[in-house]
Amino acid sequence: MKIQVTERGVHGPDGAEIEVGTVMDVEGDAMPASYVNKAIVVHGKESKTMIVNPADKEADEEKTFQIDYAKSLGIKATKSWGLDKIKEAIEAAEKTAEAEKAAAG
């Protein structure tokens, strides 16, 4: 069965993260438990057609970028947060960091 990785956080047998969009072969006719909600079947028993709106994909990419940046600032942002909430948390963290830097000297 062939599956396509649709979310980050999928790791191969060697432990390296598999890039989103990668199509790979897996044994059996069922989605491996570690790939559920992170991949789709593109050829095999559970095959479905995935419809992607390019505008949604761009928004998801921006949100993922903002979440990664927020996490680098120590913010525990998740995909359930709206983009505005993420940006507000980033702005607050940046202002706090600037204030701390100014106070330090």
Q: What is the mean pLDDT of the chain?
A: 84
Q: Where are the domains of the chain?
A: 2-43, 54-104
Q: Which residues pair with 41 in a beta bridge?
A: 3
Nearest to 34 by CA among 19, 13, 57, 63: 13
Threshold 0.75, pTM exceeds: no
- Which H or E run includes 3? strand 2-5
Q: How many CB atoms lie within 10 A of CB 40?
A: 19
Q: How many CB atoms lie within 10 A of CB 58?
A: 10
Distance of CA 88 to the CA centre of its chain: 20
By percentage, how much of the chain surpasses pLDDT 90? 12
CA distance 25 to 97: 46
Tens digits of residue pLDDT in 46-70: 555 556 666 677 778 888 888 888 8
Nearest to 19 by CA among 29, 32, 6, 33: 6
